[in-house]
Amino acid sequence: MAIRKIARMGHPILRRKAEPIPIEDITSSQIQNLIRDMFETVLDADGRGLAAPQIHESKRIVILEIQESEGFQVWINPVLQPLTEECMLTFEGCLSVPEMRAAVVRPSKVQVDAFNEKGEPISMILEDFPAVVAQHECDHLDGILYIDRMEPGTLSFLEEYHRYAHLYDFSEEEE
């Protein structure tokens, strides 16, 4: 296992659509080693999730923690489908956009269909913050960063976000 270097905003790998993984390759040593490296890297970086393109691998794999009590999950070739028009606004950060935060509006309920690290199909419905985490990580597989979806005027450095985020009032926009 190895801790990999995380690609930062501006690197072209983050703007490419990642390649799907053939189902028969999921259990190969190459993919299993990549998953282990992703796990080591996200733990080292203290992240909630990581997509393979973030460690310079154009593969459709994400590892994410959608519920702290359940630990990390591996999704291979995930497909997300919004299940509601109701949206929620959260401040997001990203290991590839270090020390920054911005407000992003996303659907509050999604269905995820993917394969796990054993090549088994999985399907789940996620709501609220877990739905946001899933959409953020899966966006990486299509070359999208949260800053592409952010609300104008909300991008801030992490230190200032911690100091001033409580001053943002989005109540008029959410009605």
Known catalytic residues are: 137
Residue owning tokens 């088994």: 120
Question: Any idea how long the chain is?
Answer: 175
Is the Cα torsion angle 66, 67, 72, 75 positive or negative in sign? negative
DSSP 128: S
Query: Which run of H or of E encompasses 73?
Result: strand 71-82
Q: Where are the alpha helices (DSSP H) in the chain?
A: 29-45, 129-140, 158-164, 171-174
Number of H helices and E strands in the chain, helices first, is 4, 8
Task: List the strands of the sheet with 156-157, edge to edge.
Answer: 87-94, 97-107, 156-157
Q: Are 100 and 155 in contact (CB under 8 A)?
A: yes
Q: Provide the sign of the torsion angle of the four alpha carbons 151, 153, 156, 162, taken in this order.
A: negative
